[in-house]
Amino acid sequence: MARDVYKIPDALPGKDAPTHELADYLEILCWRDGITSERAMMISLGLLDDNLHGDEDDEFETSASEVMIEIERRMNACAGGYPFSFAEETGEVITRRLDWGKNRAAYLYCFMLLATRLDMQRHARWDNIDGTKIFEDIGRHALCDYLGIRDINNSIVFGTSAKGGFREKVDHMCEIMGEGEGVRDETEEDQDSTGNEKDGKIDAVAWLPFADGGKGFFSVFAQCKTGTSWEKALTVTQPDKFITKWCKKGFSVIPSRAFMIADSPSRKKWFNHVCDAGILFDRCRIAEHGEAIPDSLLGDIRRWTETAFDVLVMNRY
């Protein structure tokens, strides 16, 4: 029987919840209350009696220790963009950083925390802002910063947040990249059973051109996923197949692939995930590049995050 995944506000982590889910819950508590501890978290979940002693208490200590190790890992991985800190040298208490609202990377982290733990099928839109769509733009900027692309015009959002139909997007991409010679002529095979054009499984594209403007340069095709059901999509972005299906001619150099998620998953399967996905950006890796987020996008991130948190956490949690 499949366990219930931790989702706000419907399901809390259970006794069999993995460490990364418990770490997310601990962060939510700290965000809400300003300060918390692993013991307080376990008691709030009914996983520990405050008067408990003996073997079960030892079991708690082991589980709690793993959660705090994960919190410390995230703190280091975010490279200054983590919105929480240890309040004591013992590492038993974490506290919300007082300046996190001024740190765009920390604010971005909190957006991604909610974009993981909310049911993004039902709760993606807040204050007339679609969180799944702005995550595609976040992915674009993080990708450019990681690659050292100074001109944001050497990237595009290709997913649902971009305007125009699928074929128009392919044609535009080929034109500004100078590769592929445009979208190929449409055939009946380009239509699915509903008559809609197929999804190319690409949300953001970035490239590093040379000053000579010639063909043959490094580029990346990326897919962006909120929520927790991203594992089944790890292998679907295939740049070589995309180009063969949709472009008139092949690219001089096949693009690399990246996969960008709002989640901060278990490291136990990290190697396998990377083998399947290519360059994997999780919540911490994206937050590491959060200072590259422009003010206009940050405004949407803040509005979405604050509204969703107030409604689903402060009022109902």
What is the per-residue pLDDT across 241-292, written as a single tens digit (0 to 9) for each?
999 999 999 999 999 999 999 999 999 999 999 999 999 999 999 999 999 9
Cis omega (within 30 of 0) on the bond before 9? yes
Q: What is the pLDDT of residue 193?
A: 41
Query: Residue range 17-40: average pLDDT?
Result: 93
Q: What residues form DSSP beta bridges with 220?
A: 206, 256
Phi-psi map region of 128: left, alpha, beta (phi>0 left; psi -120 to 50 alpha) = left
Please tell me which residue, 14 or 189, carries the higher pLDDT value.
14
Interhelix angle 19-33/55-77, nearest 10 degrees: 80
CA distances from 216 to 125, 152, 175, 180, 247 (A): 40, 19, 15, 11, 16
What is the per-residue pLDDT across 195-239, written as a single tens digit (0 to 9) for each?
444 557 899 999 999 999 999 999 999 999 999 999 999 999 999
- Contact between residue 157 and residue 204 where contact means Cβ atoms under 8 Å apart: yes
Q: Rounded to whole angstroms, how far apart are CA atoms 173 and 247?
A: 10
Please tell me which residue, 119 or 15, carries the higher pLDDT value.
119
What is the per-residue pLDDT across 152-185, written as a single tens digit (0 to 9) for each?
999 999 876 566 788 999 999 999 999 999 999 8
Query: Residue range 303-315: average pLDDT?
Result: 92
Say if domain 1-98 classifies as CATH 1.10.3470.
no
What is the per-residue pLDDT across 61-104, written as a single tens digit (0 to 9) for each?
556 789 999 999 999 999 989 999 988 666 678 998 877 667 88
Query: Residue range 293-300: average pLDDT?
Result: 94
Nearest CA to 172 among 247, 111, 91, 110? Answer: 247
Query: Residue range 293-297: average pLDDT?
Result: 94
Q: What is the pLDDT of residue 53?
A: 52
* pTM, 2 dp: 0.91
Please tell me which residue, 316 or 314, carries the higher pLDDT value.
314
Query: Residue range 40-63: average pLDDT?
Result: 66
- Contact between residue 155 and residue 207 where contact means Cβ atoms under 8 Å apart: yes
4-18, 65-79, 127-141: the lowest-pLDDT one = 4-18
For the chain, what are the domain ranges?
1-98, 125-308
